[in-house]
Amino acid sequence: MDFKYRLLTPGPTMIPEEVKLELSRDIIHHRKDRFKSIMRGLQPKLKTLFGTKEDVLILSSSGTGAMQAAVFNLFNPGEKVIVVEGGKFGKRWTEIAKKRSLKPVIIEVEWGEAVDPELVKDTIKKEKDIKGILVQASETSTGVLHPIKELGEITQKFDILLVVDGISAVGISPLPMDRWGVDCLITGSQKGLMLPPGLSLISLSEKAYNKALGVISSDFYFDLKKEKNKIKQGETAYTSPVALILGLNAIMDLFLSYGLENIYKKYWALTQMTRCGVSAIGLSCFAEKNYTWGLTSVRVPKNIDGKELLNKIASTFNLHLAGGQDHLKGKIIRIGHMGYVDMSDILFALNAIAWTLKKEYNFVIKEKDFLEQASTSYFDAKEQGYERYFS
């Protein structure tokens, strides 16, 4: 009881009170008017979130379900797609593509770095019959932001679908689907949307939907054509996740009243603050240049096991951070600053990390005023630096 439970992972994330209250309501019936009118009212809000004029479909699944839905509904077996593999979630695209018997052309990107759009362009020219690009907007396993806008400029000129896993980017950093030429955008409930896990969102451009019309999916449950017809009536194909949808409606009202741009600015400031604090402590960030806004990946000093460090932080401070995945296990820690997180949570996390390093590992903190530096960085970042992302 010394410390509040603090969940600072890149999903699931903490949830605001307004959402918790919605989740505790009576379950209304998913085929009756009251629910359908909520669903109809939700569409324009979700379109604003996605930056699209197309319908935003709601699936009962974690984010991976929507990834699968995209691959199975947009591509026929045997088609060739480029997969950007720069982390665990990039690899997941490849696994799903193989399940659909696609021919993935893998662009391997060093973990911690973003894909070079020129390389994608060259690969398209070399391979000739590429039908799609599967990529993450934000590769959560490494903390990298891929250049989606630049990829969209390339794919718009070809008969190629740009399929973007925005699970740790939507509602966190700018990703306007239509303006950037994204053909399929996906997100999940438990990241930037500040909801419990269990719901995913997916939208298809006209180009993607037209392609889907010619595809026979081998998947019964994830049928995007069926979902698209149903959403027009304010329904989902099967029983809707009613509580989560009420929560989604509440969070969208919060987002839109605060303003999406202000939300992005806040995450930008939290990111700058975390990075500043981390380096003032004497640690280095894993993603150096193209870093995402919802989490910060941090290298753990060589003689320290990251998993043990996280356990010590959790047992002393009741603060739950994420570790590394695959070959980064034990080597990095990931501080989530997406979801219902504010400056004081990050100050707490920086302090907990520094304290534990000092007490348990005799680590020498570089700058004693690291918290003050981080705070200053937050307010400075609120004023500047983000403008170029809003073009």
> Where on the chain is the footprint of ligand PLP (CB under 6 A)?
11, 62-64, 89, 136, 138, 140, 165, 167-168, 188, 191
186 versus 381: smaller Cβ distance to ligand PLP = 186
Please, what is the minimum distance in Å from the beta carbon of residue 92 to ligand PLP? Answer: 6
263 versus 347: smaller Cβ distance to ligand PLP = 263
Q: What's the N-to-C CA distance of the chain in angstroms? A: 46
72 versus 363: smaller Cβ distance to ligand PLP = 72
Rounded distance, CA 297 to CA 329, Å? Answer: 12
Residue 200: C-alpha distances to residues 6, 121, 165, 234, 341 (Å): 24, 30, 11, 16, 21
Cis peptide before 12 (omega within 30 of 0): yes
Rounded distance, CA 333 to CA 310, Å? Answer: 8
Please, what is the minimum distance in Å from the beta carbon of residue 257 to ligand PLP? Answer: 26
Instruction: Output the furthest CA–CA distance in the chain (Å, rounded).
Output: 63
| 180 C-beta neighbours (distance < 10 Å), count | 20
Q: What is the CA radius of gyration of the chain?
A: 21
C-beta separation of 189 from 44 below 8 A: no
Please, what is the minimum distance in Å from the beta carbon of residue 305 to ligand PLP? Answer: 24
Please, what is the minimum distance in Å from the beta carbon of residue 143 to ligand PLP? Answer: 11
* Residue 136 β-bridge partners: 165
Please, what is the minimum distance in Å from the beta carbon of residue 188 to ligand PLP? Answer: 4
135 versus 276: smaller Cβ distance to ligand PLP = 135
181 versus 192: smaller Cβ distance to ligand PLP = 192
Q: Where are the beta strands (DSSP E) in 1-123?
A: 6-7, 56-59, 80-85, 103-108
Please, what is the minimum distance in Å from the beta carbon of residue 303 to ligand PLP? Answer: 30
271 versus 375: smaller Cβ distance to ligand PLP = 271
- Phi, psi torsion values for 220, nearest 5 degrees: -75, -50
